[in-house]
Amino acid sequence: MNTPSNAVPGLSVDARGRAPAPVSATRPMYWSVRRELWENRSLYVAPLVVAGVVLFGFLISTIGLPHRRRAVLLLGPAQQRAAIERPYGMAAGMILVTVFIVGVFYCLDALHGERRDRSILFWKSLPVSDLTTVLSKASIPLVILPVITFVVTVATQLVMMLLANAVLLANGVPVTSWAQLPLAEQSIVLLYGLIALALWHAPIYGWLLMLSGWARRNVFLWAVLPLIVIQVVEKIAFNTSYVGSILKHRLMGFAAEAFAFGPNARIDSLAQLTPGRFLSTPGLWIGLAFAAAFLVAAARQRRYRGPI
């Protein structure tokens, strides 16, 4: 004989009659980001590989380092600092370019890949909203990759300085001082530059994520060809190149807004950082508005687009 239950429908309790603890609102986001890191090891493997290549090349270059350093010490203070900092800047640039490429291809495959291998059927069965999933994927190029770039770059430059000083010390040549290579100051400049670059490139990543959730195949072509066609049509019809200028400014225009370059086009001090001017740039907020619209569109695409 069945007796009616006094339990309230939809309310689950444990064996002791207590309701389960509420799940934190940020927990789905946290585990979604961890999932992206588990599934995309290239996010941190690629920068580490490039850092290893840089260190190997720098180790080989230390063979003639004492002779080159003696020649550098004959120059003026500004020329000395520029010559000493050059390999460290090149290392940072190589890692930065690599991470940008990784971020672009990650966004191209972020939503398309789970539709292609049909894993979207499993992930959509979990209590994680489409917007949370899209935001977790957007956080990879906007937050996670800048952090990885910063850590790998600073560690690489520190190892380079230790290797150089060891070789110079063994050959009786004055080692690199903190005044000649202020890594702490350069680290602050690097962190600020990475944050500014991520905000400036936000619409690019949003555009790629939206197309990743929409296109059935050839996501890269869908991302690039329309922009090329628009530029060609504009050039033929109006003999102008406004679209090309806008795209170029979106790719590389952040530096002119975020920094005040000196006569030698270098960042020599923290005084050249201009966060106020950067945050008041209309282009930044217009780009962020487009990025938000692209991410909302990507979430809707994920909701209504099924497996390929």
Give the pLDDT of residue 294: 95
Q: Which two tokens stand for residue 265?
A: 């086009």
pLDDT of residue 264: 62
Q: Residue 25 pLDDT more than 90?
A: no
Q: 229-253 in b/e burial notation, b at 16+ Cβ within 10 A?
A: eebeeeeeeeeeeebbeebeebeeb
Instruction: Express each pLDDT in 64-78 by its tens digit.
Output: 888 888 887 788 777
Neighbours of 68 (CB within 10 A): 13
* Cβ count near 33 (within 10 Å): 17
Tokens describing residue 143: 């937050």
For the chain, helix (H) and strand (E) counts, in that order, are 15, 0
Distance CA 299, CA 282 (A): 26
Tokens of 92: 């940072």
Cβ-based neighbour number of residue 155 at 10 Å = 13
What's CA 167's distance to the chain center, in Å? Answer: 34
Q: Is 282 exposed, middle or buried (0-12, 13-18, 19+ CB in 10 A)?
A: exposed
What integer pLDDT is reported at residue 177 of this predicted model? 66
Is it the case that residue 13 has pLDDT exceeding 60? no
Does the pLDDT value for residue 200 go beyond 80?
Answer: yes
Average pLDDT, the chain: 85
Q: Given pLDDT bands bounded at 50, 70 and 90, which one contains residue 23?
A: low
Task: For 174-199, write each residue's pLDDT tens digit.
Answer: 777 666 667 778 888 899 999 999 99
Sign of CA dihedral 216, 221, 223, 228: negative
Name which residue leads in pLDDT, 254 or 268: 254
Domain boundaries, the chain: 41-304
Q: Which two tokens stand for residue 127?
A: 């209590």
Radius of gyration of the chain (CA): 25
Confidence class for position 24, pLDDT limits 50, 70, 90:
low
Q: Which residues pair with 17 in a beta bridge?
A: none
- Tell me the mean pLDDT in the region 125-137: 89
Does an H or E element contain 156, and which? Answer: helix 145-170
User: What pLDDT is recorded for position 285?
Assistant: 95
Cβ–Cβ under 8 Å, residues 112 and 305: no
- What is the per-residue pLDDT across 34-62, written as a single tens digit (0 to 9) for each? 999 998 999 999 999 999 999 999 999 88
Q: Are 27 and 131 spatial neighbours (Cβ–Cβ below 8 Å)?
A: no
pLDDT tier at 255 (50, 70, 90 boundaries)? confident
What percentage of the chain has pLDDT greater than the value 90? 45
3-state SS class at 305 = coil
C-beta neighbour count of 207 within 10 angstroms: 21
Residue 231: its pLDDT value, please? 92
Provide the token pair at 24. 């934190």
For 241, phi then psi, to 5°, come to -140, 45
**Cβ-based burial of 220 (10 A; exposed 0-12, middle 13-18, buried ≥19):** middle
The tokens of 29 are what? 């986001």
Mean of the pLDDT values across residues 241-251? 90
pLDDT band at residue 10 using 50, 70 and 90 as cut-offs: very low
Phi then psi dihedrals of residue 273, to 5 deg: -80, 135
* DSSP letter for each residue of 123-149: HTTSS--HHHHHHHHHHIIIIIHHHHH
Per DSSP, the three-state class of 14 is coil
Share of the chain above pLDDT 70, in %: 88
> How do residues 206-237 score in pLDDT, each as one tens digit?
999 999 989 888 899 999 999 999 999 999 99
Residue 188: both structure tokens together: 């602050």
Least confident of 225-229, 248-252, 259-263: 259-263
